[in-house]
Structure 1
Amino acid sequence: MNNNCKLCELRGVWISTVYEIDWPKTQNDIHAQKQEFIEILDTLQSLNFNSVFVQIRPTSDTFYKSYINPWSKYLTGTQGKSPGYDPLKFMIKETHRRNMEFHAWLNPYRITTSGTDLNKLYKAHPARLNPSWALSYDNALFYNPENPEVIRYIATTVFEIVKNYYIDGIHFDDYFYPYNYPLPQGEDRDGVIANNRREAVNNMIRLVNKAIKSTRECVQFGVSPFGVWKNKSSDPNGSDTNNLESYYDVYADSLKWIEEGIIDYIAPQIYWTIDNKISAYETSVKWWNNVVKDTGVRLYIGQNISNVDIAKEIEKQVNINRTYSEVEGSIFFSMSNIKENTGNVIKQLKEVYSCKEYND
């Protein structure tokens, strides 16, 4: 066994469907879409990966058969149009055939990536049926996190997936409130309105966790927040960084989720190089390592190989991860960069993942 290997570590990759980043590259072609996904899995299997995180609900539309949300436009070009098969069922089957985990990745609040006209959504889209749920910001729409009906809708969406599909996990990324969503004039970032926003997001996480565990307890629930909770300049408990802060910039209090044990794992997006001046890579890893210690919440590190400078040093980053006791693996963004061999990443991944003794 390669001495650099770490037993039982998670080796994951994000497979994005929004903007057609990773999959599918073709529309209205069942065979081509299936073949694309099989090739992705075969590539990952050859590199000894053991997990995929596939975006199955990118804009409140789906890659699975749903009675709540419409079919995704990224399958056919038209939101609400059936692709003629169940992509999620197919993907789970092919992933499990290779003894890999399948995590269903959802963005909880996003309705559109651009455009604010609800009438352009599919006629039975939840946001079009419930316009009071939607907020507009920066030429896009998102669900209002403070609306109790929105919280129930998100939890029901997750319940439907967990009930009907044998997934290994439900996964949320870093989008909660839009980045830098403004407070009303005169309001403080630690004031009542800001705190209400954070608590609304907390309540959504709590209810989603309850929906998962009461339906299929073995399904994992994890979130991949921005890599900084708070800077030390804002809070003595924060990290020694000088960056955006998820607590303030998207109203995501990830430490609360860890303290309450309402997530199974956290995968902070530590999307920086080792020598980054405002958020040094190892400084951030060490902070998160200390945060999860003795909590029972597992820690994976999100790493951005779409950045060529990061991709060039990914072997070093993984080996840094392995020196910290609480770090149990990595998730890489994204699959296209493995296929394109950004920064010679394939050779490095072959080296760090040369052993197979990780999922026994």
Structure 2
Amino acid sequence: MKDCKVNELRGMWIATVFGIDWPKTQNNPEAQKKEFIEILDTLQSLNFNAVFVQIRPTSDAFYNSHINPWSVYLTGTQGKSPGYDPLKFMIKETHKRNMEFHAWLNPYRITTNGTDLNQLAKLNPARLNPNWALEYDDALFYNPENQEVIKYVATTVFEIVKNYYVDGIHFDDYFYPYNYPLPEGEDKDGEVANNRREAVNDMIRLVYKAIKSTRACVQFGVSPFGVWKNKSSDHKGSDSNNLESYYNVYTDSLAWIEEGIIDYIAPQIYWTIDNKNSSYETLVKWWIEAVKDTCVDLYIGQNISNEDIAREIEKEIQINRKYSEVEGSIFFSMINLEENTGNVVQQFERVYRNKAGIPYEGCD
């Protein structure tokens, strides 16, 4: 087995919601810059070659936008300028180190808790368009079936791709809230559920079109929950017993692959190798079959915030490398690398001891 593929993606998710990974300080541009440089230097020293930074965590922005207000996680006040352009700075520093920068967005999240639109910045799109918002579980999110919401998400992405030299646009697993209920009497394969899935598909299609018509080299990818459907629900499903993204968040990731409206998929296979309900290698092999004979690249999302997984992350990477279809990994998240959860640092030093090129050279 080779130590690494020539252009193996080695990515790290950097979460900004709640300041999980960055920034730890607010209202201090120089401190925030210093923190981010330290993150990049740490990753570079371990031969990582990509960062996936959450630049729109809650309908707000880590970049200069005419659509979304400045993020609350920069200053403590949504809409308040941080005094610099974080995205411009982050891209420059990332590219200086010959690493890729992927802009990670949450398309539908408005708040993590609370349903008072008046608590948002005055120019927040949700506050300006209250009919776009849905309430669930003491939080707000954009209604995926609203056609104006679909256009708004695509326009948000267009603005980023037009104004910033990002290497990729990245969505995670949050679409409809997990287990968002159906109306009474509706079936999970019925008209309402199917309409929800198709609305998400429409958003993915329009975002893909917005990216490719603006800067075609920018990659578009999604990191869905690691199970599409269980085999007990569909013979095409995986040999697993877990939540199903098709039903629990109304997303049909297989449709995106088959239609070719994403460049890569990075399923969150957040389980140990011996997990009885969703074993790691079983799910890896299922997703390999899902992308087979398509132009969609496969990365694996891996969870080093779980200590049991972190302790065996080297073995999981070795499993990935058994299969030529697996192009690399993205890890959640930076704080666990800094805290060395499950001795991940020593494992990365071994498994990433050789450098790898960046997968998408030439996007400028």
TM range (shorter): over 0.9
Cα deviation for residue 357 of structure 1 reads: 3.7
Rounded Cα–Cα distance in structure 2 between residues aligned with 1:319 and 1:6 = 12
Matched, 1:277 2:283: no
Rounded Cα–Cα distance in structure 2 between residues aligned with 1:150 and 1:15 = 26
Rounded Cα–Cα distance in structure 2 between residues aligned with 1:321 and 1:3 = 12
The runs of 5 or more residues in structure 1 that have no matched partner are: none
Rounded Cα–Cα distance in structure 1 between residues aligned with 2:351 and 2:234 = 36
Cα deviation for residue 7 of structure 1 reads: 1.9
The runs of 5 or more residues in structure 2 that have no matched partner are: none
Amino acid in structure 2 at the alignment position of 1:115:
G
Which residue in 2 is equivalent to 1:315?
314
Residue pair 2:53, 2:102 contacting (<8 A) in 1 also: yes
Percent identity at matched positions? 80
Which residue in 1 is equivalent to 2:190?
191
Cα deviation for residue 167 of structure 1 reads: 0.3
Cα deviation for residue 3 of structure 1 reads: 3.8
Once the two structures are superposed, what CA deviation does each residue of 1:217-253 show, in whole Å capped at 9, x if it has no partner? 0000000000000000000000000000000000010
Rounded Cα–Cα distance in structure 2 between residues aligned with 1:358 and 1:151 = 35
Once the two structures are superposed, what CA deviation does each residue of 1:275-304 show, in whole Å capped at 9, x if it has no partner? 001000000000001110110100000000
SS in 2 for 1:279: coil
Once the two structures are superposed, what CA deviation does each residue of 1:196-218 show, in whole Å capped at 9, x if it has no partner? 00000000000000000000000
Rounded Cα–Cα distance in structure 2 between residues aligned with 1:218 and 1:4 = 28
Amino acid in structure 2 at the alignment position of 1:42:
D
Rounded Cα–Cα distance in structure 2 between residues aligned with 1:119 and 1:357 = 48
Amino acid in structure 1 at the alignment position of 2:232:
S
Residue pair 1:56, 1:88 contacting (<8 A) in 2 also: yes
Matched, 1:227 2:226: yes
Mean Cα deviation higher: 348-357 or 56-65 = 348-357
Matched, 1:118 2:142: no
Which residue in 1 is equivalent to 2:174?
175
Which residue in 1 is equivalent to 2:135?
136
Residue pair 1:289, 1:325 contacting (<8 A) in 2 also: no
Q: Could you tell me the TM-score, scaled by structure 1's length?
A: 0.99
Which residue in 2 is equivalent to 1:31?
30
Cα deviation for residue 358 of structure 1 reads: 3.1
Which residue in 1 is equivalent to 2:13?
14
Once the two structures are superposed, what CA deviation does each residue of 1:183-205 show, in whole Å capped at 9, x if it has no partner? 00110000000000000000000
Residue pair 2:49, 2:356 contacting (<8 A) in 1 also: no
Calculate the aligned-residue CA RMSD, in Å: 0.8
SS in 2 for 1:99: coil
SS in 1 for 2:331: strand
Which residue in 1 is equivalent to 2:330?
331
Rounded Cα–Cα distance in structure 1 between residues aligned with 2:62 and 2:4 = 35
SS in 1 for 2:301: strand
Once the two structures are superposed, what CA deviation does each residue of 1:82-103 show, in whole Å capped at 9, x if it has no partner? 0000000000000000000000
Rounded Cα–Cα distance in structure 1 between residues aligned with 2:5 and 2:337 = 21
Rounded Cα–Cα distance in structure 1 between residues aligned with 2:5 and 2:314 = 13
Q: Could you tell me the TM-score, scaled by structure 2's length?
A: 0.98
SS in 1 for 2:229: coil
Rounded Cα–Cα distance in structure 1 between residues aligned with 2:67 and 2:107 = 14
Amino acid in structure 2 at the alignment position of 1:264:
D
Residue pair 2:8, 2:356 contacting (<8 A) in 1 also: no
Residue pair 1:163, 1:215 contacting (<8 A) in 2 also: yes
Rounded Cα–Cα distance in structure 1 between residues aligned with 2:322 and 2:4 = 11
Amino acid in structure 2 at the alignment position of 1:252:
T
Residue pair 1:50, 1:99 contacting (<8 A) in 2 also: yes
Amino acid in structure 2 at the alignment position of 1:127:
A
Which residue in 1 is equivalent to 2:286?
287
Rounded Cα–Cα distance in structure 2 between residues aligned with 1:16 and 1:112 = 15
Which residue in 1 is equivalent to 2:237?
238
Show the 5 A alignment for 1:99-114.
Answer: 99-114=98-113
Amino acid in structure 1 at the alignment position of 2:94:
T
Cα deviation for residue 271 of structure 1 reads: 0.2
Show the 5 A alignment for 1:201-220.
Answer: 201-220=200-219
